[in-house]
Amino acid sequence: MSDGRWAVVTGGSRGIGRGIVRALAGRGFSVVVNFRADSGSAEAACREAIDLGAPNARPLRGDVADPDGSVRLVEEASAIAGRIDLWVNNAGVAPESRVDLLEATPESWDRVLGTNLRGPFFLTQSVARTMLQQLAAGAIEEPQIVFITSISARFASVNRGDYCVAKAGLSMVAQLFAARLAAAGIRVYEVRPGLIETDMTRGVHAAYDERIAGGLVPLNRWGTPHDVGLAVAAIADGSFRYATGAILDLDGGLGLRIL
């Protein structure tokens, strides 16, 4: 068993997940980088993590939407690390196409909610059980779970309703697990990124460039995976020890009510 802290980041090979992996590595965490398909990116993320200070970094293939794979994914992550101090539910998908709410399809609904809501719920159920066992065995202290949701949990986008519903639901999942696990000393947090510059937002980049320049985001810029990573790293380091169920908005002030 490792004497150091271990974090598992789902969808950690690219985008926001990779920013989180980098930040945690810089804080001395060993990391398990979960990925679904691109092993090359996951291996590159692990090499980068080692270069940034992670004592260890290991890729782990697994699809968070797989209803039969949640227990296996947690078991394999625990076997790699020997412990789970931090679990970050980051993996998610966007709709394959943005369509008007009146044209939404059951197929897109099932795909988006399967990965962004159903999957993380049952995955976290397995994570919680494992953390409780490891706490009882004295293998870990003060474990934490972080959900990466989105401003879409509270901002309505009528051309991607399935995504908004999934993120709003995931926000409640974070609240539920925070309430259930608090007495055991497992803290749960929600991080809500705003407009983050990643592959997922590439298709709408030009449109939002114009809106950001017009004042949509008070800080007047896109967010970055590094911004999200810094927030998760602060949580991981215990900066919010007397909080659980807290929601951290990383939206550049987009949610401010300004007259």
Q: Please state the length of the chain.
A: 259
Question: For this structure, is 189 an active site residue?
Answer: no
Residues 242 and 144 sit within 8 Å (Cβ to Cβ): no
The structure tokens listed for 157 are 């986008």
Closest alpha carbon to 88 in 64, 110, 69, 57? 64
What is the Cα–Cα distance from 138 to 175, expressed in whole angstroms? 26
In contact, 197 and 205? CB cutoff 8 Å: yes
Residue 251 CA to residue 222 CA, distance in Å, equals: 9
> Catalytic pick from 163, 189, 208, 242?
163
Segments in 92-204 forming alpha helices (H): 106-113, 119-136, 161-181
Residues that are catalytic: 163
